[in-house]
Amino acid sequence: MFDLQNIKTIGRYQILKKIGQGSVGAVYLGKDPYIERQVAIKVYRLPNDTGPEEIEAYKKSFFVEAQSAGRLMHPNIVTIYDADQQQDFCYITMEYIDGSTLEKFCKPDNLLPIERVLKIIFNVCKGLEYAHQNEVIHRDIKPSNIILSLSGQVKITDFSIAYIKRGHSTLVKGLFGSPSYMSPEQVKEEFITERNDLFSLGSVLYELLVGKKAFEGENEYSIMFKIVNDDPPPILELKPELPKTFGDILSKALAKNPSQRYQCSMDFAYDLRLALRSLKEAPKETHDSELLSYIQDLPFFNNFAESQINEILSASNLVKVEKDKTIIQEGEIDDSFYILISGQVLVQTGTEEVAVLEKGQCFGEMAYLTGEARSATIITKEECIFLKFSSTLLNGLSEAIQLLFFKNFTQTIIKRLSKGTTTKT
């Protein structure tokens, strides 16, 4: 068993306690004394029975995680802080998440609510989309590599066998990954793309919904054979109360041919959002005609056709918020934007109140358009109702609707500039 024995510090980090154990390494809870924050420290002992070349190969393999995840800064990916070598072991320090992995929620007697499962996988999609945009393929998505914090945050961790597509690749040759969650192309050691991670995520979704793995077998070889040759038991046979769309989503995510799978994480995320809506469809439909009529009268939607507004309602969230609640926080990174259906909101930069927005106005559109951090805080002055959108949802709408949104965003920005309002939320 790996143990640091009497070592009390690693680099500048104080060791508090062991929180994870492996055959050749361990994870410790540590503390950065300068920044006064807790960190997780992943430690790997270098072999002492091999030559210098083999040791360098081991070090290179270990630091794959630092090189891949270290370039990624996203709310749904565990942040890497530091990596180094001390004596005969290497270490990586990273963000400490107080919570647990999804493993314990894969048991039939401890399943999460379906709505919660969809939201978790949706957030994993967002993290994977960011990683893939930065040309990092995780290659080991599984329940134990997805952390759910006590506050409900979802974090992808363990990029130790990740593949960096551009530049000097740190790809380790051979068959790597966890057999139950490998894609067919990964099992066959073929060229992999981002769609490899989406197959693995489909396997995780399947397991979270029914409490059993999509591909089971007596040993690793039988599992891998099934991944390549067999389909998993249909989800609707195991859980017939699920809407039909769940079967469609998993069939696409777990397609043997990568070209028949979701082509990017946000495609997957969009269908998850539709599935989430299907769980709530019945109680919402009684209000659709009234809501449609009401929204048509809002200035922002004057140039939208009724059919287009119907499409928008099917892909947005209607949110009610109490008085004096913060909707957007200055400095946060989020691609959501809002259209105010009723009520008023206050716009603040720092402690200064700069504007009041009313029914029919939008906010948050600048962060959506630019991808930059929020430059203002939005607080409700009274009980408000909003339509909330994200880039994922908007990108899933028809091109004509997207063009109308951008046109209206432009007009909104021009009007604010002409009035001398510098609000950019």
One-character DSSP codes across 127-158: HHHHHHHTTEE-S---GGGEEEETTS-EEE--
Distance CA 163, CA 185 (A): 15
Mean pLDDT: which of 87-91, 329-333, 378-382 is highest? Answer: 378-382
What radius of gyration do the chain's Cα atoms show? 24
The one-letter amino acid code at 210 reads: V
* DSSP-assigned letter for residue 387: E
Pick the CATH number of 307-418 from 3.40.50.1110, 2.60.120.10, 3.90.1300.10, 3.40.50.1820: 2.60.120.10
Beta-carbon neighbour count of residue 281 at 10 Å?
11
Distance CA 241, CA 246 (A): 10
CA distances from 298 to 359, 401, 418 (A): 8, 16, 21
Exposed / middle / buried, residue 307 (Cβ in 10 Å: 0-12, 13-18, 19+): exposed
More confident call, 90 vs 423: 90
Assigned fold of 9-95:
Phosphorylase Kinase; domain 1 (3.30.200)
Average pLDDT of span 291-312: 80
| The token pair that represents 397 in the structure block | 């709408």
> Is 140 one of the annotated active-site residues of the chain?
yes
Residue at token pair 């099917």: 314
pLDDT of residue 25: 77
According to CATH, what is the number of the domain 99-281?
A: 1.10.510.10
Share of the chain above pLDDT 70, in %: 90
Task: Please tell me which residue, 10 or 51, carries the higher pLDDT value.
Answer: 10
CA atoms within 13 A of residue 423's CA, in its CB half-sphere? 26
Instruction: Indicate the length of the chain as a whole number.
Output: 425
* Residue pLDDT, tens place only, 106-141: 999 999 999 999 999 999 999 999 999 899 999 999
Among the listed residues 98, 109, 140, 158, the single catalytic one is 140
Using 50, 70 and 90 to split pLDDT, how confident is the model at 4?
A: low
In the chain, domain spans: 9-95, 99-281, 307-418
